[in-house]
Amino acid sequence: MEDGVKKFLYVNRKAPYGTIYALEALEVVLIGAAFDQDVSLAFLDDGVFQLTKAQDTKEIGVKNFSPTFRALGDYEVTKLYVEKESLDERGLTADDLQEITYEDEDDDWAEKPSIIIVSRSEMADVMAGQDVILSF
Amino acid sequence: MSYEVDGQEIATDEEGYITDLSDWTPELAEVIAKAEGVEMTDEHWAVVNFLRDYYEEYQIAPAVRVLIKSIKKSMGPEVGNNKYMYELFPYGPAKQACKIAGLPKPTGCV
Amino acid sequence: MATLHTVNKSPFETQALLSCLGHTKAGDTVLLIEDGVYGAVGNTALADAVAGLGGAVTLAVLAPDLKARGIDEGRLMDGVKTVDYAGFVELAAEHDRTQAWL
């Protein structure tokens, strides 16, 4: 790990449109990406709803920010941990989530998946391995 | 503040970003560019079009370093570098080009 | 490498406490603050889930928030520790990171 680089985890536990948490989290991630830290995102509980496919907010008059998750790779945010149990509890599978990829600069720009499905105990390990945890 | 295209008044915020993104037309882009003191060339248009495509796909205007990196990848290093981009858009490629492209100010820009 | 978890919502309103308890590791502390303190009371529908931590995790409550809600310390589950504001600060300093469960 380079000097001064810390591990930051943004924890997302809320559904996308009922409250402002999800959008605020995403904006903080995009702004924070300028600081060249080791950033990961965690999606658990209702947070997994943020990543579902086919969101269309036209008729509720708010911005659909789900496409913005696909831009995270450009910001070198390439680790999106999604909790399997949270998906299961909500009747979702990995196939219900949109595809999010990044281009690996160190591997001839090969396109790789950003979403990493983890168990609850693996998620606990991810959390325990961080320097800073920001909750939304 | 507002712009005028074909006798139509286009509303903007206090910094000159248009408030209704659907108001944008290439003619409006020329008007905004003129107000910014920018003479639109093919290179300017390439950047503006890139920004509009990026916004269409991801619903955000990219941060300047993301913009330059992407332009470098798609159009080569002679266009995709800091110096050249600032020559095209002296007040900042993200900020000023977004304004001309009819997009909101990039997230994280102050 | 322990974490201080804070929970500030009643477990009867949100899943935050249960979710938090599902992600703790041995040596962690869960500090209940604001409406979270209702989760430390014994003889509730949730007491079993909380008690199931089995001692690997320390459960603490912020005393001023208990007092404000008229909850006598005698009504807390066994083994729950009470701390004041200075104790909160000490906990934050003793742990490697703090994670808020909103």
What are the pLDDT digits (tens) for B2-61? 898 888 899 999 989 999 989 999 999 999 999 999 999 999 999 999 999 999 999 999
Mean of pLDDT over chain C: 93
Across the range C17-28, mean pLDDT stands at 94
Annotation: CATH topology of A7-135: Hypothetical Protein Ychn; Chain: A, (3.40.1260)
Mean of pLDDT over chain A: 95
User: Domain limits of chain B?
Assistant: 1-102
Most C-contacting residue of A85, A122, A135 (CB-CB within 10 A), to test interface: A135
Q: Which residue has the tokens 């680790």?
A: A79
Confidence (pLDDT) at A122? 98
Among B60, B65, B108, select the one facing A71 at the smallest CB separation: B60
- Asked if residue A1 has pLDDT above 60, the reply is no
C29 has a chain A CB within 8 A of its CB: no
User: Which is higher by pLDDT, A2 or C97?
Assistant: C97
Q: Which residue has the tokens 């325990």?
A: A128
Distance CA B52, CA B65 (A): 16
Q: SS3 string of C39-97? A: HHECCCCCHHHHHCCCCCCEEEEEHHHHHHCCCCHHHECCCCEEECHHHHHHHHHHCCE
Say if CB C32 and CB A135 are below 8 A apart.
Answer: no
CATH number of C3-101: 3.40.1260.10
User: Domain limits of chain C?
Assistant: 3-101
C99 has a chain A CB within 8 A of its CB: yes
SS3 A49: helix
**Element spanning A115, H or E:** strand A115-118
Across the range C63-87, mean pLDDT stands at 95
Total CB pairs under 8 A between chain A and B: 35
C13 has a chain A CB within 8 A of its CB: no
User: Domain limits of chain A?
Assistant: 7-135
Across the range C73-81, mean pLDDT stands at 92
Chain C hits for A24, CB-CB cut-off 8 Å, are: none
CA angle A113, B51, A35 (to 5 degrees): 60
Say if CB A13 and CB A44 are below 8 A apart.
Answer: yes
Q: What is the DSSP string of A68-113?
A: GGGGGGGGT---EEEEHHHHHHTT--GGGBPP-EEEEGGGTTEEEE
Strands A101-104 and A110-113: antiparallel
- Asked if residue A7 has pLDDT above 90, the reply is yes
- Asked if residue B110 has pLDDT above 50, the reply is no
Q: What are the b/e assignments for B35-51, b being 16+ CB within 10 Å?
A: ebebebeebbeebbebb
Top-tier CATH class for B1-102:
mainly alpha
Contact A33 B63 (CB under 8 A): yes
Helices (H), B1-110: 26-35, 42-58, 64-75, 82-88, 93-100
Nearest partner of A136 among A31, A53, A24, A30, judged by Cα: A24
Chain A hits for B56, CB-CB cut-off 8 Å, are: none
Across the range A100-115, mean pLDDT stands at 94
A120 has a chain C CB within 8 A of its CB: yes
Contact B59 A30 (CB under 8 A): no
Q: Which residue has the tokens 């083994």?
A: C79
Q: Which of B46, B69, B109, B110 is catalytic?
A: B109
Catalytic annotation on B98? Answer: no
DSSP state at residue A52: B
Contact B63 A34 (CB under 8 A): yes
DSSP state at residue C28: -
The model's confidence at residue A28, banded by pLDDT at 50, 70 and 90, is very high
Cα nearest neighbour of A132 on chain C: C97
